[in-house]
Structure 1
Amino acid sequence: MATIRAGSQAVLLVVDVQLGVMRGAWNAAQVIQNIGVAVEKARAQGAPVIWVQHADDELVSGSADWQIVPELPPAPGETRIHKQFNSAFEQTALEETLAQLNAARIVLAGAATNWCIRATAYAALERGYDLTLLQDAHTTETLELGGGIKIEAQDIVRELNIAMTWLSFPGRKNSVAPAAEVVF
């Protein structure tokens, strides 16, 4: 049986826009700017902004690369979630935070599209949240598969944007929207 969130609040979830993640990401400057637009809209419309930061052996907590990009400073009092797995839900306080906020809908932005954004999007839907992926506010790096085979970053972004329009979960809504058009 599907769980459907009964809350009424939309939140903006900004995942892993950290220096070490964004440095080599496709179209990073524009994506950061688009995330900034979404952050301003969320704040203006009274939607909470939640910031997620990843840490692992390559992205060490507290290091310079672990820091959120300077163009997107979290406001005082905005929640920060620290994670060690691709999904922002795994072994974090995110679900409890969303419950406290009476959240039913997540607007998702950040990096990396093929890892943490995809895992967080699917986890949100599986946990009963409605989801809007900001189609122009997530990014990744080109994926080198070896043997001369690679998947270009912009194709990874495009594929997830398409997938989010085709997914179907009982009782939930998922969509994509440009950052400039999202409503909280």
Structure 2
Amino acid sequence: MDERTEVPNKALIVVDMQNGVIEHCVHPKKVTARIQEMVSRARDTGTPIFWVQDEQDFARHSTPWRIAAPLEPRDGEHHIFKTYRDAFAGTGLHAALNAQDVQHVVICGAQSDYCVRTAAQRAAAMGFDVTLVRDAHTTGAATFEGQTMTGDQVIAHTNAYFAGLEYPKQKISLLRAEEVVFHPVPVND
């Protein structure tokens, strides 16, 4: 089966799309627009949405901490507050996904090489099928051991890394935002 014909229980995870994060990232308006469109499609189908926010670097309720406009979490959507790069470490994300019987996570957001990649790989290691949205994550330039990569290079490297990621009996995919399909969530009577 491909992404367009499978019907697992999915969730959309939006990582660190906060004012204080995206101001240093490349293409923030394009990425935000793609995420907003996916959020709208997820809402239309009843797909659970998880908003992950960094509280290690930003004080709660400060302007840098807030989710960047026009993204706006709604009541009833999940808020995950983290103090590590890993959205699963010390948070209730894993338990909340299990409570919703989620089997497949769709991941997008900010800090491609840190928080987004870590969340995606950790989800895969925990047994979830994972889709990384290749054109809906962003970051800024990075320097390591004297070598500098532009934000676009970091994004391309993250996508290349994830394209080769494999775990037993799991689907790992790398799709564009427009290719991500959310199916209506069945309502239990």
Q: Does the TM-score normalized on the shorter chain lie above 0.5?
A: yes
Which stretches of structure 1, 4 residues or longer, exceed 2 Å deviation after superposition? 144-147
Which residue is 2:94 aligned to?
A: 95
Alpha carbons 1:112, 1:140 under 8 Å: kept: yes
Once the 2 structures are TM-superposed, how far is the Cα of residue 146 of structure 1 from its aligned partner? Answer: 6.4
Which residue is 2:29 aligned to?
A: 29
Which residue is 2:3 aligned to?
A: none
TM-score, normalised on structure 2? 0.89
Which residue is 1:174 aligned to?
A: 172
Aligned to 2:103, the other structure's residue is in SS state strand
Aligned to 1:160, the other structure's residue is in SS state helix
Which residue is 1:15 aligned to?
A: 15
Once the 2 structures are TM-superposed, how far is the Cα of residue 59 of structure 1 from its aligned partner? Answer: 1.8
Say what the alpha-carbon RMSD is for the aligned residues.
Answer: 1.4
Distance in 2 (CA, whole Å) between partners of 1:164 and 1:145 is 20
Distance in 2 (CA, whole Å) between partners of 1:145 and 1:128 is 31
Q: How does 1:72-151 map to 2 (within 5 A)?
A: 72-145=71-144, 147=146, 149-151=147-149
Query: 1:1-21, CA deviations, whole angstroms, 9 ceiling, x for partnerless residues?
Result: xxxxxx941000001000000
Query: 1:120-166, CA deviations, whole angstroms, 9 ceiling, x for partnerless residues?
Result: 1110000000000011100001013364x311111111111122221
Which residue is 1:3 aligned to?
A: none
Alpha carbons 1:8, 1:102 under 8 Å: kept: no
Query: 1:162-184, CA deviations, whole angstroms, 9 ceiling, x for partnerless residues?
Result: 22221110011111111111012
Identity %: 33
2:21 partner amino acid: V
Q: In the comparison of the two structures, how many residue pairs are matched?
A: 176
TM-score, normalised on structure 1? 0.91
Single out whichever of 58-67 and 85-94 deviates more from structure 2.
58-67
